[in-house]
Amino acid sequence: MSVFRVLIVDDHPVVRQGVRSVLANHADIQVVGEAENAATLFAIVDSLKPDVILLDVRLPGQSGIEITQRLKRDYPDIKVIILTTFDDDEYLFGALRAGAEGYLLKSASQDVLADSIRQVGRGERLLTPTLVGKVIREFHDLARDKTRADSGLSDQELQVLRMIAAGATNKEIAEKLYWSEVTVKRKVQDILEKMGVANRAQAVAEAGKRGLL
């Protein structure tokens, strides 16, 4: 049976003791040490050789995100699970960008924590289920932004395109944006050319396919 060596990093002794007690019930998980901050962690990590580090995101001195960045640079084989009470987007996406393999809330059950260590130790990635939706939404937002950038359409042109899709006439668009109808016609023509379509209906259909609306 593989045994996963775990190092707990948290500035609250009660939390460290609680996590250690919980993991003591799992024969394939061995807590090899504890640290309260970055200085303590990096003073002992070479000698303890952990497979997985459970790391709080808010610590005195260097944050969990900064520590993760350093660990991924200097100890790429060590897996990092952020174990925190905070589900803020800033911390979540900062940790993932830094290279953390997991992000788990301290409210997770004993079995979820243990299974998370096993999963990450085997090379998988994980998130607390309640945070998965946030990551999916962020992925969709990034994909949409890339699609818009790739289209070559300006923000103004995208606005006109959305108004066309809503059924607005050139005159209505002109009144809404305080433009002349000549300006609107020119903008519409620019949109058609950039999208490689012949008319407004095709532009709306193509925009729908690309996720531009």
- Reported for 88-92, long-range contacts at CB under 8 A and 24+ positions apart, including other chains, are 89/134, 89/138, 91/57, 91/58, 91/64, 91/65, 92/131, 92/134, 92/135
* d(C-alpha 43, C-alpha 200), whole Å: 65
Q: What is the pLDDT of residue 107?
A: 87
pTM score above 0.85? no
Pick from 19, 29, 14, 37: nearest CA to 83: 19
Q: Does the pLDDT at position 132 exceed 60?
A: no
Of the CATH numbers 1.20.120.140, 1.10.1040.10, 1.10.10.10, 3.10.450.50, which one belongs to the domain with range 143-210?
Answer: 1.10.10.10
Q: Does the pLDDT at position 133 exceed 70?
A: no
Q: What percent of the chain has pLDDT over 90?
A: 68
φ, ψ dihedrals at 132, nearest 5°: -60, -40
Q: Does the pLDDT at position 1 exceed 80?
A: no
Q: Does the pLDDT at position 191 exceed 80?
A: yes
Return the amino acid letter for 59: L
Pick from 147, 142, 177, 141: nearest CA to 159: 177
Return the amino acid letter for 95: A
- Over residues 24-75, the pLDDT tens digits come to 999 999 999 999 999 999 999 999 999 999 999 999 999 999 999 999 999 9
Q: Does the pLDDT at position 135 exceed 60?
A: no
Pick the more confident residue, 105 or 5.
Answer: 5
* d(C-alpha 195, C-alpha 144), whole Å: 16
Pick the more confident residue, 64 or 132.
Answer: 64
Q: Does the pLDDT at position 129 exceed 70?
A: no
Q: What is the pLDDT of residue 208?
A: 86
φ, ψ dihedrals at 4, nearest 5°: -95, 120
Each domain of the chain, given as residue ranges in start order, spans 4-130, 143-210
φ, ψ dihedrals at 78, nearest 5°: -80, 130
Q: Does the pLDDT at position 106 exceed 80?
A: yes
* Host H or E run for residue 6: strand 4-9
Pick from 29, 33, 30: nearest CA to 41: 33
Query: For 4-130, CATH number?
Result: 3.40.50.2300
Same fold across 4-130 and 143-210: no
Q: What is the pLDDT of residue 131?
A: 60
The two tokens of residue 142 are: 């990034």
Query: For 34, what's the count of Cα atoms within 13 Å in the CB-facing half-sphere?
Result: 13
- Over residues 151-161, the pLDDT tens digits come to 888 889 999 99
Q: What is the band of 188 on the pLDDT scale with cuts at 50, 70, 90?
A: very high
